[in-house]
A and B are shown apart, each in its own frame.
Chain A
Amino acid sequence: MLSTAILSLLVGCALLFPANGGIWVATDVQHQPAAAVKPSAVATVATIGTAPSPEAPAGSEQAPDTGLSLFLRNGCGACHTIRGTEAGGTIGPDLSHVGSRRAIGAGVLPNTEEAIADFIARPDLMKPGVKMPAFDMLPKAEIHKIARYLKALQ
């Protein structure tokens, strides 16, 4: 009786181990992010980066947001040049006169404020394989302010 019990236990083990694809060593089962911490955080996150967050020292050098200051603040100048400003990047096109161009996004979009804003938010949707990252994490209002500023660059 004992030996059958031992035998069945061993066979039972043998059946258990291959379960779940792997063998013996547990892998990748529990890797879901710790969702428990998330809940009330979301509201706070939404405000951050837009305006100074509640506890942030109210922006000392936060001049009123103009299109140009938002452009520089978010690092667009790393890739784009606008003559007469500190923006001197050369990876993307020179935007000094972008407002007077007939079309943008290498000709796929009409040159309207709306289209410029759409392009800034999701350039990858307008032009697959584009080397400009999406900026859709910026608040819509900021993107529109930048777009209005760019459209006015004649």
Chain B
Amino acid sequence: MPAHQSHPRANSSSAASGKKDGAERVANQPIKVRLKHVLIGTICLPVVILLGAWIGFFNVGASTGHWKVTSLFLDLAMRSAVRTYALTVNAPKTLDRRGLAAAAGHFARGCAICHGAPGELRSPAVLRMLPQPPDLRLTVADWTDAQLFRIIKHGIRFTGMPAWPARDRDDEVWAMVAFLRELPKLDANGFRALSGESTGADREPAAPAELAECTRCHGSDGRGRGDLVPALAGQKQDYLFASLQAFASGDRTSGFMALPVTGIDPAAMAALAKHFAAQPPTSVDRDQIAATTIKNGQQIAQAGIPQRNVPACSSCHNGPGRNPIYPRLDGQHAAYLEEQLKLFRSEGRGGTRYWRIMATAAQRLTDDDIRAVSAYFSSRSESPQ
């Protein structure tokens, strides 16, 4: 660029003034030479680098580590990028701790293999990764919540640190941030308890092998550990099966569920659906909720809100002989129902082939409606239909 600009100036000055005083030309001379070098340099350097890459000059082996200067540069670039990009993240004032159990379960399966976990030895193979995945118990304090969110959601390029397995599930990423804040306080037993590791004692011989993975989060009683993990006990079998298919195909996105359904064949899915559907539904522990809220919720569930085109939920979710893909909501965790309704409202839920019906129904619900109707369904305990 600068070289280009200098030419017209040099030409015009010589053309306009003809034989001007040589002093100026001498003064111009060194600049011209330097610009030419820079020009040649900028053209040649990429070619040289490309050539170097092509003949295999750059050592991509990980065994010897980076040069000091390279690793300093990479670390600087990573930290600066995370810092800068985290500026756009809107961190909540207090982290929601209701998803801790699910996040811990996910950590045990999806993160511990690289980062290690309390009471678990890492594979020597992982320790020879470049860069080596840090022990997060020692490093989480270096980062703000927003920065952790940014790292977990998007991953880190060139390091093996993966992005979150589901798009548009910021709620799950925040749950993971909350768990990482908890991690340094956990010892081996605390971690095993929180992540729901199965002791194997309650293993039923007839159950599919994958069941131990599911009970981490959904509990061996199928009631869901933590308010954001759905109870599966007593849910309709066809709905459970169709939902598992939806997670596997990506029609319903959840980072927490994406991992456990990967690689399960349809026969095992059907067996798992059958197992949970056969468990007796017990109403989940619930918070004290104002009776008026539940009453409002009942009104919405039974009559809808006609003036805002909200249909009556019970016409699809209660009563005998309903479509087996329309799920039961009775006794489900209220926080889970709320989260799902918000996802439906923003069209971020997906689901079985029937999900659009539900998205239509949820479109015009306000946050207050959602809280009320979720509290109502959660407070019901009816035998399964």
| Chain A contacts to B: CB under 8 angstroms | 6, 8-13, 15, 17, 23-38, 40-41, 44-45, 48-49, 52-57, 61-63, 69, 72-75, 77-79, 86-91, 131-135, 137
Interchain CB contact under 8 A, B154 and A61: no
B324 at the interface (CB under 8 A from A): yes
* Most chain B beta-carbon neighbours within 10 Å: one of A24, A28, A44, A77: A24
Which of B124-132, B263-271, B287-295 has 4 or more CB atoms under 8 Å from chain A? B263-271
With A and B bound together, what is the CA distance between A62 and B261 in angstroms?
Answer: 31
Interchain CB contact under 8 A, A6 and B45: no
Interface contacts beyond A61-B320, A72-B321, A74-B323: sample of 7 additional A-B pairs, CB < 8 Å, sorted by A: A35-B250, A37-B248, A40-B265, A41-B245, A44-B270, A45-B242, A89-B315
20 contacts between A and B (CB under 8 A): A11-B45, A15-B49, A26-B157, A30-B163, A33-B250, A37-B262, A48-B238, A48-B325, A49-B238, A49-B242, A49-B325, A49-B353, A56-B238, A61-B321, A72-B315, A72-B321, A73-B321, A89-B304, A89-B311, A131-B360
Interchain CB contact under 8 A, A89 and B312: yes
Interchain CB contact under 8 A, A75 and B322: yes
With A and B bound together, what is the CA distance between A57 and B236 in angstroms?
Answer: 11
Interchain CB contact under 8 A, B156 and A78: no
Number of interface residues of B (CB under 8 A): 72
Interchain CB contact under 8 A, B326 and A75: yes
Interchain CB contact under 8 A, A69 and B48: no
- Cβ 8 A contact of A9, one of B58, B266, B315: B58
Interchain CB contact under 8 A, B250 and A137: no
What residues on A are CB-neighbors of B324 within 8 Å?
Answer: 48-49, 52-53, 56
* Most chain B beta-carbon neighbours within 10 Å: one of A23, A29, A45, A78: A78
Interchain CB contact under 8 A, A53 and B238: yes
What residues on A are CB-neighbors of B67 within 8 Å?
Answer: 6, 9
Interchain CB contact under 8 A, B311 and A78: yes
Interchain CB contact under 8 A, B81 and A55: no
Min distance, Cβ A53 to any Cβ of chain B, angstroms: 5
What residues on A are CB-neighbors of B85 within 8 Å?
Answer: 25
Min distance, Cβ B88 to any Cβ of chain A, angstroms: 12
- Sorted nearest first, the 7 A-B pairs with minimum C-beta distance are A33-B250, A75-B316, A78-B315, A78-B311, A26-B157, A24-B81, A137-B353
What residues on A are CB-neighbors of B270 within 8 Å?
Answer: 44, 53-55
B253 closest partner in A (C-beta): A33
B85 closest partner in A (C-beta): A25
Interchain CB contact under 8 A, B321 and A48: no
- Cβ 8 A contact of B242, one of A31, A48, A54, A135: A48
Q: A25-B154, A78-B315, A89-B312 are in contact. Are A34 and B306 (CB under 8 A)?
A: no
* Most chain B beta-carbon neighbours within 10 Å: one of A35, A90, A91: A91
- Cβ 8 A contact of B356, one of A55, A75, A131, A134: A134
What residues on B are CB-neighbors of A32 within 8 Å?
Answer: 250
Q: How would residues 211 to 233 of chain B score, 1 for a CB under 8 Å from any chain A CB and 0 otherwise?
A: 00000000000000000000000
Interchain CB contact under 8 A, B357 and A75: yes
Interchain CB contact under 8 A, B154 and A27: yes
What residues on B are CB-neighbors of A134 within 8 Å?
Answer: 356
Interchain CB contact under 8 A, A28 and B167: yes
With A and B bound together, what is the CA distance between A109 and B325 in angstroms?
Answer: 30
B155 at the interface (CB under 8 A from A): yes
Interchain CB contact under 8 A, B73 and A26: no
Min distance, Cβ B274 to any Cβ of chain A, angstroms: 5
What residues on A are CB-neighbors of B31 within 8 Å?
Answer: none
With A and B bound together, what is the CA distance between A9 and B70 in angstroms?
Answer: 8
A15 closest partner in B (C-beta): B46
A74 closest partner in B (C-beta): B323
Min distance, Cβ A106 to any Cβ of chain B, angstroms: 15
B91 at the interface (CB under 8 A from A): no
Min distance, Cβ A128 to any Cβ of chain B, angstroms: 15
Q: A24-B157, A49-B354 are in contact. Are A38 and B248 (CB under 8 A)?
A: yes
